[in-house]
C-alpha cells in the first residue's frame, strides 16, 4: 500500500553539510523546522569550520532537537567528503537493523520551501520501487529558476546541458542531480556513496551515473528550494565582454581533474574515452586562452588548469590543491 507524504517523510533523514557560514546555517535550519511533513532525522556535517560560531550553533541545535546527529570532521574534506560522510551516517542501519528509507541532501546555503519535502513525496514516485532518486526544483534568491538538470549528461564533452524551467508542473526524468535537494533512496545510499576523493566539484555528476544504475531519477518542479550561492560567490566584473569572478580560482583544478576522473570511471568504450580525452585537451587549451584574455594571464590559474588536466589523466584524486591559496599539495 502506498505511503502518505507524512509517512515517507518520517522515514527520511536530512543531510546538511556546513562550513564557515553560520548565518546561512541558522536560516537553513529554521527553514527545515518549518517543513509541513516533519522528517525523521537530520545529520549535520561540520566540515571542520573555523569561524568560531558554527560548532556552537550545531551544539545548541542538537541539545534542543532529539532528531539531530552532529558529525564534526577532523579536517575540511570538501563538499565531496562532507556529503560522503553525511550520507553514510544517514543511511546506516540502527541497532534495530533499520536505516533511513530516504536521504535528502543540501548545503547550508539552501532554503527549502515549507512544503518542499512534502511535494517530493506527493509526486507518488517514491512508491515506485524503480525510482532511485528525486530532486527538488532549484531557484535563485531573486526567484529566477536555476538551470535545472533536464536532459542528459554528455560523457565525451564531460558536461551537462540543462534548460531553464518554471516551478510547478509534472515531474521530468533526469540523468544528473546535485546535492541541493537530492532525495536518494536509502537502500541505494547504503550501496553507493559519493567519491570523497573528488574533494569538490563534479562529485554529483559522478554519483549520478552510479545512482542511475539502481533506477530512474526525476525532477519534481513542485518541490522548491532556494539556493543562495550567488550571495557569497564573490565580486563579479566584466572583462572584454565576459563576466568573471577572481575569487575561488583554486577550484578550476578540481573542475577539470574531476571531469576526467568521471570519464575514466564511466566511459563505455576505449573509443569514448579517447574522444573524451581529446575534448578535455581542447577544453584545456580554451581555458588557457581565457586565462590570458580575461584573467590577465594569471599564472596560478594557468598552472592549476594544467595540473588538473595531468592529474585527471593519471587518475590522481584526493585533496591536491589548498582552498583559498591555490597551493598545490603533492
DSSP track, 246-267: -TTTTHHHHHHHHHHHHHHHH-
- In what helix (H) or strand (E) does residue 309 lie, and over which residues does it extend? helix 299-314
Looking up cell 578535455 gives 280
The tens-digit pLDDT sequence of the chain (330 residues) is 789 999 999 999 999 999 999 999 999 999 999 999 999 999 999 999 999 999 999 999 999 999 999 999 999 999 999 999 999 999 998 766 678 999 999 999 999 999 999 999 999 999 999 999 999 999 888 877 776 566 677 888 887 766 667 778 889 899 889 999 999 999 999 999 999 999 999 999 999 999 999 999 999 999 999 998 645 445 445 545 555 455 568 999 999 999 999 999 999 999 999 999 999 999 999 999 989 887 788 899 999 999 999 999 999 999 999 998 889 987
**Given this model, what pLDDT does residue 146 score?**
73
227/269 same-domain check: no
Write down how long the chain is: 330
Q: Is residue 323 part of a domain?
A: no
Closest CA to 188 of 116, 114, 268, 99: 99
pLDDT value, residue 306: 97
Residue 328 lies in a domain: no
Residues 219, 306 within the same domain:
no
Find the CATH number of the domain harbouring 64.
3.90.550.60
103 and 217 both lie in a single domain? yes
Beta pairing, strands 182-185 & 131-140 = antiparallel
Q: Within this chain, do residues 176 and 77 fall inside the same structural domain, yes or no?
A: yes
How many H-runs (helices) and E-runs (strands) does the chain carry? 10, 13
3-state secondary structure 55-84: HHHHHHHHHHCCCEEEEECCCCCHHHHHHH
Q: In sequence order, what are the beta bridge partners of 23?
A: none
Same structural domain for residues 151 and 245?
no
Instruction: Note whether 134 and 243 are same-domain residues.
Output: no
Is position 319 within any domain? no
Beta strand 110-112 pairing with 131-140: unpaired
Question: What confidence score (pLDDT) does residue 246 get?
Answer: 55
249 and 207 assigned to the same domain: no
The DSSP 8-state label assigned to residue 94 in this structure reads -
Instruction: Looking at the structure, tell me whether residues 56 and 135 fall in a common domain.
Output: yes
Rounded Cα gap, residues 294 and 292, in angstroms: 6
The torsion of the CA quartet 113, 26, 103, 227, rounded to 10 degrees, works out to 50
Residue pair 151/158 in contact by the 8 Å Cβ criterion: no
Confirm whether 325 is domain-assigned: no
Which of 207, 231, 255 is a domain's end point?
A: 231
Which residue in 317, 329, 313 sits closest to 158, CA to CA? 313
Domain of residue 69, residue span: 5-231
Return all residues near 210 (Cβ < 8 A) that are at least 6 apart: 192
Q: Are residues 49 and 69 in the same domain?
A: yes
Please indicate, yes or no, if residue 324 is contained in any of the structural domains: no
User: Parallel, antiparallel, or unpaired: how do β-strands 41-46 and 68-72 relate?
Assistant: parallel
Q: Which of 172, 207, 231 is the last residue of a domain?
A: 231
Is 273 found in the same domain as 149?
no
Please identify, among 186, 204, 231, the residue that sits at the C-terminal boundary of a domain: 231
Residue 158 and residue 131 share a domain? yes
List phi, psi (to 5°) of 188: -70, -45
Q: Is residue 133 part of a domain?
A: yes
Grid cell digits, residue 156: 565525451
Amino acid at each position: 500500500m502506498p505511503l502518505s507524504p507524512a509517512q515517507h517523510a518520517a522515514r527520511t533523514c536530512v543531510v546538511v553539510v556546513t562550513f564557515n557560514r553560520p548565518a546561512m546555517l541558522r536560516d537553513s535550519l529554521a527553514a527545515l523546522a518549518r517543513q509541513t511533513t516533519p522528517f525523521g532525522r537530520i545529520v549535520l556535517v561540520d566540515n571542520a569550520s573555523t569561524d568560531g560560531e558554527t560548532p556552537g550553533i550545531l551544539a545548541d541545535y542538537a541539545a534542543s532537537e532529539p532528531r539531530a546527529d552532529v558529525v564534526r570532521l577532523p579536517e575540511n574534506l570538501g563538499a565531496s567528503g562532507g556529503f560522503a560522510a553525511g550520507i553514510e551516517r544517514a543511511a546506516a542501519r540502527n541497532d534495530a537493523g533499520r536505516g533511513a528509507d530516504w536521504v535528502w541532501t543540501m548545503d547550508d546555503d539552501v532554503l527549502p520551501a515549507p512544503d518542499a519535502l512534502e511535494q517530493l513525496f506527493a509526486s507518488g514516485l517514491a512508491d515506485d520501487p524503480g525510482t532511485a532518486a528525486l530532486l527538488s526544483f532549484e531557484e535563485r534568491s531573486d526567484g529566477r529558476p536555476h538551470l535545472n538538470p533536464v536532459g542528459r549528461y554528455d560523457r565525451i564533452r564531460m558536461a551537462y546541458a540543462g534548460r531553464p524551467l518554471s516551478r510547478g508542473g509534472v515531474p521530468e526524468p533526469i540523468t544528473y542531480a546535485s546535492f541541493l535537494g537530492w532525495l536518494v533512496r536509502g537502500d541505494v545510499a547504503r550501496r553507493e556513496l559519493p567519491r570523497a576523493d573528488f574533494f569538490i566539484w563534479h562529485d554529483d555528476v559522478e554519483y549520478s551515473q552510479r545512482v542511475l544504475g539502481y533506477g530512474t531519477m526525476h525532477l519534481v518542479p513542485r518541490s522548491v528550494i532556494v539556493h543562495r550561492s550567488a550571495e557569497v560567490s564573490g565580486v563579479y566584473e566584466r572583462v572584454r565582454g565576459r563576466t568573471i569572478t577572481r575569487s575561488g580560482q583554486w577550484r578550476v583544478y578540481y573542475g577539470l581533474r574531476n571531469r576526467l576522473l568521471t570519464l575514466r570511471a564511466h566511459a563505455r568504450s576505449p573509443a569514448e574515452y579517447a574522444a573524451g580525452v581529446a575534448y578535455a585537451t581542447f577544453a584545456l587549451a580554451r581555458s588557457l586562452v581565457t586565462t590570458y584574455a580575461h584573467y590577465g594571464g594569471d599564472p596560478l590559474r594557468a598552472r592549476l588548469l594544467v595540473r588538473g588536466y595531468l592529474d585527471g589523466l593519471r587518475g590522481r584524486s584526493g585533496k591536491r590543491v589548498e582552498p583559498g591559496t591555490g597551493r598545490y599539495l603533492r
